[in-house]
Chain A
Amino acid sequence: MKLVSRPSERDTRLRAMVDRYLDFVARVLRNAGTPEAELDDDVQRTFIAVSNRLDDVRPDAEKSFLLQTALRMAAHARRTLARRREVHDSDAQLRIQGPLQPEQMLDQKRARELLDNVLEEMAIELRTVFVLYELEELSMTEIAATLRIPQGTVASRLRRARADFRDRVRALSGSTHAEVGS
């Protein structure tokens, strides 16, 4: 009698995906707008969604599939958040009212909060392209394939997103110099 069922190939594959892409999925969700408090759930939902479609996912397309799923999860999270805006009143305390002190700039936790604020203010189509290019370091070709939009559109959105991001960061730091280079 078989005492222990061997872990199936499916389970092995899923486990390997979690090991390989967990940080990636969590980071994309976080940067794309999933609140910290819901991150754990959304990471699980992302992997469950992929698990349910595992047979349809080519091994070389796992990352892309996870990315697309995570972006959809984050979009859902943002919509949910928008519906209960009043909950975010407390977050207003985190927003910066004036130029930052150097020690504030260098604090990692603070930097994360500030980044959240900056990203949250950006238009979603600009934010997504910005996150994928500047934070995930995807190529413009990869972004175009992931979002299913023309490369020209990616380039245009990226240009606007970088300008928007720098404007907002300058506003935070009080800096006024330099244009966005390319």
Chain B
Amino acid sequence: MTEPTRLLTLPESELERALLTAGRSYTAPGSMRANTLLALGLTAAATSTAPSASVASRSLTKAAFSKVAITMLVIGAAALPIWLYLRHAGRSPVALTPPANTARVSPAPSGTVEPVMDPPGSVPPATQGPSVESQPSSPAPSVGIPRAEPRPASTPPLAAELAALDAARTSLSHSDPSAALVALDGYSRNFPRGRLRLEAEVLRIGALAKSGQTVAARKRAEAFLRIHPDSVLASRVRSYAGL
């Protein structure tokens, strides 16, 4: 079957040429690539306004992580004698093992619940009482050693967080939402203030939806969208929850 010559090859007017050219030359705005990668959980550049975006970067090289690991080892080595001394002196090194969330819990405003800081194994947000601030802006109160590192020096937190979420994402992509939920529970347990908690919450919504817990997924999605209506992750949340 012969195909007709395309109109732009022989336009009958300048207007026709302009319209067809406009249709062919449309290109995606600059921010669209970053937003799309982020929505896919692939993410890219850090931004100060999106906690998940700022830390979900996989563009960090192994060299960068190695530097982080070395730095933390040095800090850990320096802190260890001080911690032992304080322990010996009977003082509690509070900053080394802060109780999860205690400094940040506040009454829930009008019944809303921050969906990204749920304790492990928690039920959907609507059934919970307290909420936790979504933005980690204020430092946790510290007593004793102010610069103590809360995590083991041998585990770069960001890498570990990424690994935990990768496990959940992989399970989800292999149609195993139950395993994804287990991985996400582990993430919440190990990183109660994780910097990728928004991403974790989005994955949890996806896992709940895929496992047939659509009501729970929807509740969490609605809570997420209430608190983060303009998040770049919002469209993904809507897609998962069918909103």
Interface size, B (range): 35 or more
In the complex, which residues of chain A have a beta carbon less than 8 angstroms from the beta carbon of B217?
none
In the complex, which residues of chain A have a beta carbon less than 8 angstroms from the beta carbon of B37?
15, 18
| Cα A14 to Cα B43 with chains together (Å) | 11
| A169 pairs with B23, CB closer than 8 A | no
In the complex, which residues of chain A have a beta carbon less than 8 angstroms from the beta carbon of B239?
44-45, 48-49
- Our pick among B12, B15, B173 for the contact of A10 (Cβ within 8 Å) is B173
| B35 pairs with A173, CB closer than 8 A | no
What is the distance, in angstroms, from B68's C-beta to the closest C-beta of chain A?
9
| B23 pairs with A135, CB closer than 8 A | yes
| B236 pairs with A3, CB closer than 8 A | no
Q: Quick one: closest B residue to A30, CB to CB?
A: B26
A165 in the interface (beta carbon within 8 A): yes
Interface segment, B3-11, B132-140, B218-226? B3-11
B40 in the interface (beta carbon within 8 A): yes
| B12 pairs with A135, CB closer than 8 A | no
| A112 pairs with B162, CB closer than 8 A | no
A75 in the interface (beta carbon within 8 A): no
A139 in the interface (beta carbon within 8 A): yes
| A48 pairs with B236, CB closer than 8 A | yes
| Cα A3 to Cα B29 with chains together (Å) | 35
A145 in the interface (beta carbon within 8 A): no
What is the distance, in angstroms, from B165's C-beta to the closest C-beta of chain A?
10
A8 in the interface (beta carbon within 8 A): yes
A122 in the interface (beta carbon within 8 A): no
B102 in the interface (beta carbon within 8 A): no
Residues facing B in A9-60 (CB within 8 A) are 10-11, 14-15, 18-19, 22-23, 25-27, 30-31, 39-41, 43-45, 47-49, 51-52, 54-55
What is the distance, in angstroms, from B209's C-beta to the closest C-beta of chain A?
11
| B32 pairs with A40, CB closer than 8 A | yes
A88 in the interface (beta carbon within 8 A): no
Q: A11-B42, A40-B35, A48-B236 are in contact. Are A111 and B21 (CB under 8 A)?
A: yes
| B5 pairs with A182, CB closer than 8 A | yes
Which interface residue of A27, A51, A118, A135 has the most chain B CB atoms within 10 A?
Answer: A135
Chain A binding surface, main DSSP class = helix
Residues facing A in B28-44 (CB within 8 A) are 28-29, 31-33, 35-37, 39-40, 42
Interface segment, B47-55, B115-123, B141-149, B153-161? B153-161
| A3 pairs with B27, CB closer than 8 A | no
- Our pick among B1, B6, B159, B162 for the contact of A134 (Cβ within 8 Å) is B6
| A169 pairs with B13, CB closer than 8 A | yes
Q: Quick one: closest B residue to A100, CB to CB?
A: B15
| Cα A169 to Cα B23 with chains together (Å) | 14
B24 in the interface (beta carbon within 8 A): yes
In the complex, which residues of chain A have a beta carbon less than 8 angstroms from the beta carbon of B7?
134, 162, 165-166
| Cα A100 to Cα B163 with chains together (Å) | 58
| B36 pairs with A162, CB closer than 8 A | no
Q: Please give 8 more A-B residue pairs, beta carbons under 8 A apart, in addition to A43-B28, A134-B20, A181-B4.
A: A10-B173, A31-B23, A115-B20, A134-B23, A155-B1, A166-B12, A169-B15, A182-B5
Q: Which residues of A contact B (CB under 8 A)?
A: 1-5, 7-8, 10-11, 14-15, 18-19, 22-23, 25-27, 30-31, 39-41, 43-45, 47-49, 51-52, 54-55, 100, 102, 105-106, 108, 111-112, 114-115, 118-119, 131, 133-135, 137, 139-141, 151, 155, 158-159, 162, 165-166, 169-170, 172-173, 175, 177-178, 181-182
- 8 pairs, A vs B, C-beta closer than 8 Å: A22-B33, A48-B39, A55-B173, A105-B14, A135-B20, A158-B4, A159-B4, A181-B10
For the complex of A and B, list the 3 residue pairs with the smallest distance between their C-beta atoms, beginning with the closest.
Answer: A111-B22, A182-B4, A26-B28
